[in-house]
Amino acid sequence: MKAPHQILTAAQMQDAEQALIARGTSVEELMERAGAGAADYVWRMCAGRPVTVLCGPGNNGGDGYVIARVLQERGVAVQVVAPMEPRTAAAQAARAAWGGRTVADAPSGVSGAVLVDCLFGTGLGRPLADDLLALLGRLAAAHPLRVAVDLPSGVDSDNGDLLNQGLPDYQLTIALAAWKPAHWMMPAMAQMGERRLVDIGVDRVHDAARLSVPPQLFPPRPDAHKYSRGMLAVVAGDMPGAAVLAARAAQHAGAGYVKIFTEIDQSFEAGADLVVEHGSLFDLVRDHRIDAFLVGPGLGRNEEARARLDWVLACDLPTVIDADALVLLEPPMLEERSCAIVATPHAGELEAMAQAFDVVGLDRAEQATELAEAIEGVLVAKGPDTMIAAQVSALVLMPPASNWLSTAGTGDVLAGLIASRLATGASPRKAAEQGCWLHMLAAQKAGPAFASGDLIDYIPSAYMDLL
């Protein structure tokens, strides 16, 4: 497989297929590759039990006819439901090669073990008609196992929107040729079950988004000491507990020295192994040994917090901006900086940033990309479908992490992980991706119902997995 991790929009996918056709591969051959590859997965799922294939009028329906033929040749009982005649030459040829009986509707007798949805795939931009939605719903209810080929019908492939209410869910989605954004974006991602990819030979596409893969981390050098491994300064604010949480996470993610900087009149418990320096922030941040800053967790949103943020940014060192600092951030604060920042907003903070930087009226992926350009850095749009946008770089989508991360404080942990990687000297984009992987793997190891503080205990094991 030439580029197994690239993620293509509908337009990019069409161009990639046309490039193959221009080099002499027929549409029929591409359909045969896609259908045969998908049939292998359906074969394993059905285990010899009856299969129903729902075919639409386009080439996705053509893939369905290939799947039906291949399964029937292997001895599986297959029935094909085709509410519309095939409209493309390749789909017409695939139906002729299938040669079996089709029905246009789903009467009560149409049932089986597995439903294969080949009604519509990549490129659908409008909701399913009421009669097609009803047909899909009846078939889904009559089959305990459901497989979507390329994409579930009724999904926008470029942004993951559900174009209809009441769409069925699937146990398996088989992507054809390349991943599409919807495979890794909510809300569509939640409908898809397991995801598998069938290669049909498309080339790498320039500037395509990609699915993140585990990075490789390294142990300290033999001559390392605490300062050579990187010093991270975490700026505390009105709620210092969040800063402590982020700093504790950072201690396990590679930085050799993590300090909390706080005002002289603040007193809080940080643990015996975590240094807290009290004093004027304007004096503390002049320490020339600082390699990176983290500002935002528990910072507050008053004028004092704004002054802390402004001063940290004026120091012009690699900086992670999270939580309250994202709401306070304004374009003039970044005008004199040369070092990139990493911003880590959740959905609400992303909207606040979009308003401040006048990046509105876009979908989430476009918004993240435009904001990364506006801040001249990296933006980690946190959520169940975390994406990483970087200036002059393709969008990166993270695989889904544990649903148990949806609890208070886990964002502070993630900010600490990314900031720690940044302090070690990793580039902002790599630091963001590495931090997200440590976060995701630690959550997997923590199991169910963990608190954010519990998550920190599993970071060393997650780090070991990436060595």
User: What is the CATH classification number for the domain harbouring 431?
Assistant: 3.40.1190.20
Same domain, 13 and 62: yes
222 inside domain: no
Per-residue burial over 420-441, b if 16 or more Cβ lie within 10 Å, else e, is bbbbbbbebbbbbbbbbbbbbb
User: What pLDDT score was predicted for residue 109?
Assistant: 67
In whole angstroms, what is the distance from residue 175 CA to residue 181 CA? 11
Strand partners, 174: 149, 196
Do residues 237 and 159 both lie within one domain?
A: no
Per-position b or e across 316-340, b if 16+ CB within 10 A of its CB: ebbbbbbbbbbbbbeeebbeebebb
Number of Cβ within 10 Å of residue 194's Cβ equals 12
Q: With contact defined as beta carbons under 8 Å apart, do 228 and 289 qualify?
A: no
Strand order in the sheet with 396-397: 6-7, 209-211, 396-397, 387-390, 378-381, 341-343, 319-321, 292-295, 231-235, 257-262, 275-278
Question: Does residue 191 sit in the same domain as residue 247?
Answer: no
Q: Running DSSP on this structure, what letter comes out for residue 39?
A: H
* 308 in the same domain as 390: yes
Domain CATH number, residue 203: 3.40.50.10260
Of 181, 211, 241, the position where a domain reaches its end is 211
Q: Is residue 281 part of a domain?
A: yes
Do 143 and 287 fall within a single domain? no
Instruction: From first to last of the 467 residues of the chain, give the pLDDT tens digit.
Output: 577 899 999 999 999 999 999 999 999 999 999 999 999 999 999 999 999 999 999 999 999 999 999 999 999 999 999 999 999 999 999 999 999 999 998 776 678 899 999 999 888 889 999 999 999 999 999 999 999 999 999 999 999 999 999 999 999 999 999 999 999 999 999 999 999 999 999 999 999 999 999 999 999 999 999 999 999 999 999 899 999 999 999 999 999 999 999 886 777 777 778 988 888 777 777 788 999 999 999 999 999 999 999 999 999 999 999 999 999 999 999 999 999 899 999 999 999 999 999 999 899 999 999 999 999 999 999 999 999 999 989 999 999 999 999 999 999 999 999 999 999 999 999 999 999 999 999 999 999 999 999 999 999 999 999 99
Number of domains in the chain: 2
DSSP run (H or E) holding 54: strand 51-55
- Per the DSSP assignment, residues forming a β-bridge with 79 are 52
- The DSSP secondary-structure symbol of 124 reads -
Are residues 197 and 242 part of one domain?
no
Alpha helix ranges (H) inside 357-427 = 364-375, 410-423
Whether residues 249 and 184 share a domain: the answer is no
225 inside domain: no
Per-residue pLDDT of 223-262, as tens digits, reads 999 999 999 999 999 899 999 999 999 999 999 999 999 8
Burial class (CB in 10 A: 0-12, 13-18, 19+), 356: middle
Distance (Å, whole) CA 104 – CA 81: 6
Do 306 and 194 have their domain in common?
Answer: no
Give the domain range for residue 143. 6-211
Q: Write the DSSP symbol of residue 376.
A: T
176, 211, 246 — which closes off a domain?
A: 211
In this structure, are residues 384 and 410 in contact, taking their beta carbons and an 8 Å threshold?
no
Sort residue 341 into left (φ over 0), alpha (ψ -120 to 50) or beta: beta
- pTM over 0.85? The answer is yes
- Tokens 């030439």 map to which residue? 2
Would 144 be classed as within a structural domain? yes
Q: What is the DSSP letter of 187?
A: T
Please indicate, yes or no, whether residues 307 and 431 belong to a single structural domain of this protein.
yes
* Cα–Cα dist 450/332, whole Å: 40
- Phi, psi for 152 (deg, rounded to 5): -60, 140
